Amino acid sequence: MFNSIRTWRTPDRLPAFVRGMFAYGSAEAATRSVRLGAILVIARQISPELLGTAALALSLFELVRVLANVGIGQRIIVATETELSAICNAALRLFWIVCAGVMVIQLAVAAIALIVFSQMEVAAMLAALSAVFLFMPAGLVQIFLAMREQRLAATARVAAVQNITDAALTVALVLIWPSAWAIVLPKLLSAPIWLIEARKTHAWKADDTVPRASIFEFANFGPAILGSELLAAARLHGDKLLIGAILGTEALGLYYFAFNAGLGITQSFVAACNLVLFPHFAKSHLDHIGKEFRQSFGLGLAVLLPVVLAQALLAPLYVPIIFGEGWTQAVPYVALLAAAALPLYAGAILGARHRALNEPFAETRLMAAATLAALTGLAAGAQYDLTAACIGFGSGLAIILVPAAGVQLLSSFRISPTTA
């Protein structure tokens, strides 16, 4: 079934980041039709209230899952050839320890949801999803080694296979069992598929003849990467918790639909930019990162901007036609959230640059400011209505991330990255 999924092959003469973006772009194209079908079925089979319940469980799951991103993989990417075996041996053990700890944390969150908030269904969903962490450690070293070698077509294929499996299972379950569980369970059911595909990306096995690297080898990246990832997760998933708390479950269902319809395509592109450009920048000579940053930023913006404009301007036409008249009320939210992709893109490419320059805490500070501004704007807007909340969210991101990107673009013309 999955052997037919391929990413486009691009000429070797093209820059590495272009080849990487083509790989992720073609993988995204392969999943888009299936994901669109899933959204169509969900919109026509699931009420906003049920969708809100699923959104609450999935948002909590994503917030907890980010605790597994403690910079272990990033350390593999920047490792030298002489230390790589020791780093990978240590990374495998650390991945198991971290994922086991995160699994326990999620079970604790499920208990809190049940005991404190009487959310029995959400608690059960979180408990079921905790099993995802049993599949992650055995494939993560291989994924990051493939990224280190800039074999991004391989990692893109893993993402495509998992996303297609997730969407296909969602469609099947929603048709058979229209419920919040039909949206949540595919995240767990697709985890074994992800592991099988991840282990195919690199023929790595632990080398017992090489001692494991010290945990202190990961200390520089760990706190900063975890901080940045926690802030990014708070920004991308904490908004849904705020909407649910302030405006209720039905409004959360509308917001969750609009978020996926408005940012579904572009958010995948934004995430791909960060994944592709970090190893690309890390392999570049310090004196060339400024030029690579400008070129990459311009190329990505040229691709993203027309898509964002089309999504925002055409939302009144395609939302009722594609998703049904019942979702017409979500049109302004789809348009407003689509525009939020632009500052998110700026933040993703800035984060890749900071990591490549071994400045992870600079990324953490930037993400802290952006998250605070976005969630403050959303919470303030939610005091009025959902439209104002969407405006506040996008404006908060733009106020911080767009000027920061402008400053870095201007400085890349004038000064060397080694002195930036």
**Residue 419: band (very low, low, confident or very high) from pLDDT cuts 50, 70, 90:** very low
The Cα–Cα gap between 48 and 330 comes to 11
Q: Is the pLDDT of residue 142 over 70?
A: yes
Q: What's the mean pLDDT when you consider all of the chain?
A: 85
Q: Is the pLDDT of residue 10 over 60?
A: no
| pLDDT at position 4 | 45
| pLDDT at position 1 | 45
Distance linking the first and last C-alpha atoms of the chain? 49
What is the percentage of the chain residues whose pLDDT exceeds 70?
87
Which residue type occupies 334? V
- Give the DSSP letter string of 327-380: GGGGHHHHHHHHHTHHHHHHHHHHHHHHHHTT-HHHHHHHHHHHHHHHHHHHHH
150: alpha, beta or left? (left if phi > 0; alpha if psi -120 to 50): left
| Angle at CA of residue 313, ends 266 and 249, nearest 5° | 65
Instruction: Among 225-229, 249-253, 337-341, name the one with the lowest average pLDDT.
Output: 225-229
Q: Is the pLDDT of residue 388 over 90?
A: yes
**Residue 172: band (very low, low, confident or very high) from pLDDT cuts 50, 70, 90:** very high
Q: What is the DSSP letter of 12?
A: T
The Cα–Cα gap between 11 and 2 comes to 24
319 or 145, higher pLDDT: 145
**Residue 403: band (very low, low, confident or very high) from pLDDT cuts 50, 70, 90:** very high
Average pLDDT, integer, range 24-49:
70
| pLDDT at position 150 | 82
What does each C-alpha distance from 260 to 83, 215, 400 come to in angstroms? 41, 38, 23
Q: Is the pLDDT of residue 127 over 50?
A: yes
| pLDDT at position 367 | 86
Instruction: Among 103-107, 180-184, 325-329, 334-338, name the one with the lowest average pLDDT.
Output: 325-329
Strand, coil or helix: 70: coil
**Residue 380: band (very low, low, confident or very high) from pLDDT cuts 50, 70, 90:** very high
The Cα–Cα gap between 146 and 252 comes to 38
Q: Is the pLDDT of residue 416 over 80?
A: no
HSE-CB at 228 with a 13 A cutoff on CA atoms is 24
Instruction: Among 188-197, 241-250, 350-359, name the one with the lowest average pLDDT.
Output: 350-359
314 or 32, higher pLDDT: 314
Residue 207: which residues within 8 A CB-CB, separation 6 or more? 85, 88, 89
Q: CA torsion, points 291, 293, 294, 298, in degrees to nearest 10?
A: 140
Asked whether 224 and 71 are in contact (CB, 8 A), the reply is yes
Question: Among residues 131, 136, 156, which one has the least CA distance to residue 146?
Answer: 156
The Cα–Cα gap between 99 and 18 comes to 33
**Residue 35: band (very low, low, confident or very high) from pLDDT cuts 50, 70, 90:** low
Task: Identify the helix (H) or strand (E) that includes residue 64.
Answer: helix 48-65
Q: Is the pLDDT of residue 14 over 60?
A: no
Backbone dihedral angles phi then psi of residue 117, each to the nearest 5 degrees: -110, 0
Average pLDDT, integer, range 384-404:
95
| pLDDT at position 129 | 97
- Give the DSSP letter string of 129-197: HGGGGGTSHHHHHHHHHHHHTT-HHHHHHHHHHHHHHHHHHHHHHHHHS-SSHHHHHHHHHTHHHHHHH
Q: Is the pLDDT of residue 38 over 50?
A: yes
- Give the DSSP letter string of 223-282: HHHHHHHHHHHHHHHHHHHHHHHHH-HHHHHHHHHHHHHHHHHHHHHHHHHHHHHHHHHH
Contacts by 214-220 with C-beta closer than 8 Å and gap 24+?
214/90, 215/90, 215/94, 217/75, 217/83, 217/87, 217/90, 218/70, 218/71, 218/72, 218/75, 218/90, 218/91, 218/94, 220/71, 220/358, 220/360
Instruction: Note the Cα 362 to chain centre separation in Å.
Output: 20
143 or 50, higher pLDDT: 143
**Residue 356: band (very low, low, confident or very high) from pLDDT cuts 50, 70, 90:** confident
| pLDDT at position 418 | 42
Asked whether 127 and 184 are in contact (CB, 8 A), the reply is no
The Cα–Cα gap between 126 and 131 comes to 9
212: alpha, beta or left? (left if phi > 0; alpha if psi -120 to 50): beta
Write out pLDDT tens, residues 248-297.
888 988 998 888 888 876 777 787 777 777 777 777 666 667 778 888 88
